[in-house]
Chains A and B, each alone.
Chain A
Amino acid sequence: MTLRLAGGIDVGSCTTKSVIVDDGGNILGSHVLYSGTDFEGASDIAWRETLSLAGVSSTDSICVFSTGYGRNSVSFATNSLTEISCHARGCLHYFSGPMTIVDIGGQDNKIIKLDQKGLRVSFKMNRKCAAGTGAFLEEMALRLRLPLEKLNDLAKQADGEVTLGSYCTVFSGTEVLEKIKSGAALDHIVRGLFHSVVKRILEMDTFTDTVVMTGGVIEHNPFLIDLLKTHIQNDIVTPPHPQIMGALGAALYALQEAPHNMD
């Protein structure tokens, strides 16, 4: 008997994520790479890598759903859904409702509320600005000439922080320059930047029930969770791979549609 498999591709504006799951929704393989400018190419590579990691050779019977900003660029997907639905579906694989999902992505943030049954009550995507997203941290790391991977440790080790007041990325950049001029420590500045991300999240919506944090920014900068904990009383949890929740959700939706028994 051939196992029933399904795949999900989340083509985000920054990274493309790919997941393959078995009948039980277990992840057999996943892959993340930069989306670049060729979404179709990125999704092809991500999918091929995922298949090889999972040791799957024939793709004929695998139903694949796509999601994310470039969801319509995945030529081999049989269906597409928005990242809002797919993130929620991915999180429901690990946690049960009610919950508030906070996704910090490369270029947008999302807050999705699910009720007890796991049905969506509301959602919000951030407005047309990079404030509070991965793009904000990237831009600031560039200004500080710091590799992105170093941000989390620097923020964590800091014994103080600078306050950044503006919610505009450009204004924040100017503020950072002023802090540098006035001799603020680098780790204090980075922690201030992290706090700025948390503030942008907090002003998007109210936080009800358990908070589930997802997204690439959380995967690589888990200290943001510690900072958020200083502001809210809710339980905060994260799934094992916060960055691939959208792709996982797409795969789980695909699984519902995948044909049964391929023997």
Chain B
Amino acid sequence: MSDRQKQLRKPIAATSQMKKLMAAHFLEIDEAKKTGKQKVAWCTSVGPAELLHSMGFLVYYPENHGALLGATRMATDVIPLANAVGYSPDICSYLTADVGAYLKGVTPLTKAYGIQNIPRADILVYNTNQCRDVQDWFSFYAREWDVPIVGIHTHRSIREVQDFNIADLVSQMKSMIPTLEQVSGNRFDIDRLRDVVDLSLQCTKLWRRVLECGATKPAPLTFFDATIHMAPAVILRGKPEAIEYYKLLIAELEDRIKMKEGAVPGERHRLYWDGMPVWGKLRELSDQFYQLRTNVVASTYCNSWIFDAFDPKDPFESMARAYTELFNVRDESFKEWYMDNWIENFSIDGVIFHDAKTCPNNSNNRYSMPQRMAKRLGLPTLVIHGDLNDLRCYSEEQTRTNIEAFVEQLDQKTG
């Protein structure tokens, strides 16, 4: 892309505020580790963060660290270290990147915030709703540091969330409390939990609104913007800052909508992205779509942090429901229904499935879904082969050609 085109691209102004929030988040955790003032819990990104906040933990999300390793392109250098100690190149490359970075003693937090090391966990808390890899990932650190690990084992591949699912998950969550009390030194307080769930609810509603702005033609943001701006919904939900941030972002996006300002000027085609981002190639992919005047306006991935079910009146039940209603947890028929709705509401012209080599859980092309979807909706679909973090599995040229050819196909359709 020429420098001139780069200049023409209007950045989202709220980004600078988000960067401040991210810095404050990591520095607060780093400080707490130095002073011992507050305990740090590691939590999976779709784990019971509200419970941890309510018990006074600072919450750290290793998947976010995994994504940072990917986005800074450190991942491909450090993954081999984890491979060498027995973590296969075929398993989650967040896990292998994170473990590899730990073994090498490096972190992207150093360059970004001057933080030397990732925060040592006082407790590790996972939820297998997204995959089993998170349990193995956290178990590495539990052994390494000899710290407690607790987890929720979510039922998988379910069509409708049933009462018995909820009852089981509630009891699993409640059974964590004695350990959490012991590690944090704080008593569990249901009212405190209600407050945090309420904050998460407000955050998630706003995050939904951000994503729904993409339904406007032309869309004021891209999938690539959303992968950056979802950070507060992932790592600051349950905190007031996330709410304030999304209010700011929404105001900016609504201004763009009023002015009919598309994130991709001259938007010709609108795509849906299924699967993980390719973190190390966000810029390149975003530039390619920009040049093709095609906008990726919706995705399964960014929607994963919409939790409609949160309800402060029933904090445990609603958390159990929110974290089980998740797309990843559901069966194929639900997934198809869900995607069809977004595709219709966002006036989608084509769907790209990213088959991420190391994350079968977010690669929905593997059971013939693109073929069924093409037939059912009469929409062109494309599968690209890559990975979230491990660029050894990614062919830049092949991906570029596939995307370009796909857009040529859409051009044929529109004449």
Contacts of A120 in B (CB 8 A): 408-409, 412
CA distance A234 to B213 in the complex (A): 48
Mark B400-415 against chain A: 1 for CB-CB distance below 8 A, else 0: 0110110011001100
CA distance A90 to B10 in the complex (A): 40
A82 touches B404 (CB 8 A): yes
A82 touches B405 (CB 8 A): yes
Contacts of B383 in A (CB 8 A): 124
Given contacts A123-B409, A127-B385, A128-B385, contact A82 B401 (CB under 8 A): yes
A128 touches B398 (CB 8 A): yes
Contacts of A124 in B (CB 8 A): 383
Q: Does B231 contact A (CB under 8 A)?
A: no
B398 touches A123 (CB 8 A): no
A84 touches B408 (CB 8 A): yes
Mark B267-304 against chain A: 1 for CB-CB distance below 8 A, else 0: 00000000000000000000000000000000000000
Q: Does B374 contact A (CB under 8 A)?
A: yes
For B409, the closest partner residue in chain A by CB is A120
CA distance A198 to B72 in the complex (A): 41
CA distance A55 to B401 in the complex (A): 34
CA distance A81 to B405 in the complex (A): 8
Contacts of B163 in A (CB 8 A): none
A48-96 at interface with B (beta carbon < 8 Å): 69, 81-85
Q: Does B395 contact A (CB under 8 A)?
A: yes
Contacts of A85 in B (CB 8 A): 405, 408
Q: Does A125 contact B (CB under 8 A)?
A: yes
CA distance A128 to B381 in the complex (A): 19
Q: Does A148 contact B (CB under 8 A)?
A: no
Contacts of B385 in A (CB 8 A): 127-128
Q: Does B109 contact A (CB under 8 A)?
A: no
> What's the nearest-Cβ distance from chain A to residue B289, in Å?
15
> What's the nearest-Cβ distance from chain B to residue A203, in Å?
14
Q: Does A119 contact B (CB under 8 A)?
A: yes
Q: Does A108 contact B (CB under 8 A)?
A: yes
Contacts of A121 in B (CB 8 A): 380
A82 touches B395 (CB 8 A): no
CA distance A85 to B405 in the complex (A): 7
CA distance A29 to B256 in the complex (A): 53
For A117, the closest partner residue in chain B by CB is B412
Contacts of B374 in A (CB 8 A): 122
Q: Does B144 contact A (CB under 8 A)?
A: no
For B374, the closest partner residue in chain A by CB is A122
B398 touches A108 (CB 8 A): yes
CA distance A122 to B404 in the complex (A): 13
Q: Does B161 contact A (CB under 8 A)?
A: no
A69 touches B397 (CB 8 A): yes
CA distance A125 to B401 in the complex (A): 9
> What's the nearest-Cβ distance from chain A to residue B410, in Å?
10
For B395, the closest partner residue in chain A by CB is A128
> What's the nearest-Cβ distance from chain B to residue A156, in Å?
32
CA distance A125 to B385 in the complex (A): 10
For A70, the closest partner residue in chain B by CB is B397
Contacts of B380 in A (CB 8 A): 121-122
Mark B142-168 against chain A: 1 for CB-CB distance below 8 A, else 0: 000000000000000000000000000
CA distance A108 to B397 in the complex (A): 12
CA distance A127 to B397 in the complex (A): 12
For A206, the closest partner residue in chain B by CB is B371
Contacts of A69 in B (CB 8 A): 397, 401
> What's the nearest-Cβ distance from chain B to residue A74, in Å?
15
Contacts of B401 in A (CB 8 A): 69, 82-84, 125
Contacts of B131 in A (CB 8 A): none
Contacts of A123 in B (CB 8 A): 405, 409
Q: Does B326 contact A (CB under 8 A)?
A: no
Contacts of A122 in B (CB 8 A): 374, 380-381
B413 touches A119 (CB 8 A): yes
A125 touches B398 (CB 8 A): yes
Residue among B374, B380, B405, B412 having the largest count of chain A Cβ atoms under 10 Å = B405
> What's the nearest-Cβ distance from chain A to residue B292, in Å?
11
Mark B60-86 against chain A: 1 for CB-CB distance below 8 A, else 0: 000000000000000000000000000
> What's the nearest-Cβ distance from chain A to residue B2, in Å?
14
A106-126 at interface with B (beta carbon < 8 Å): 108, 119-125
> What's the nearest-Cβ distance from chain A to residue B36, in Å?
48
For B408, the closest partner residue in chain A by CB is A85
For A112, the closest partner residue in chain B by CB is B405
B373-406 at interface with A (beta carbon < 8 Å): 374, 380-381, 383, 385, 393, 395, 397-398, 401-402, 404-405
> What's the nearest-Cβ distance from chain B to residue A177, in Å?
26
> What's the nearest-Cβ distance from chain A to residue B123, in Å?
40
For B403, the closest partner residue in chain A by CB is A82
> What's the nearest-Cβ distance from chain A to residue B89, in Å?
14
For A13, the closest partner residue in chain B by CB is B397
CA distance A124 to B381 in the complex (A): 10
Contacts of B395 in A (CB 8 A): 128
Contacts of B409 in A (CB 8 A): 84, 120, 123
Contacts of A108 in B (CB 8 A): 398
CA distance A83 to B404 in the complex (A): 10
> What's the nearest-Cβ distance from chain B to residue A111, in Å?
12
> What's the nearest-Cβ distance from chain B to residue A205, in Å?
9
For A124, the closest partner residue in chain B by CB is B383
CA distance A127 to B374 in the complex (A): 20
> What's the nearest-Cβ distance from chain A to residue B414, in Å?
11
> What's the nearest-Cβ distance from chain A to residue B297, in Å?
22
CA distance A119 to B414 in the complex (A): 11
B402 touches A125 (CB 8 A): yes
Listed A/B pairs (24) with beta-carbon separation below 8 Å? A81-B408, A82-B401, A82-B405, A82-B408, A83-B405, A84-B401, A84-B405, A84-B408, A84-B409, A85-B405, A85-B408, A119-B412, A119-B413, A120-B408, A121-B380, A122-B380, A122-B381, A123-B409, A124-B383, A125-B398, A125-B401, A125-B402, A127-B385, A128-B398
**Other CB < 8 Å A-B pairs besides A82-B408, A84-B401, 10 of them?**
A69-B401, A83-B401, A84-B408, A85-B405, A108-B398, A119-B413, A120-B408, A121-B380, A128-B385, A128-B398
Closest 3 A-B residue pairs measured CB to CB?
Answer: A84-B405, A82-B405, A120-B409
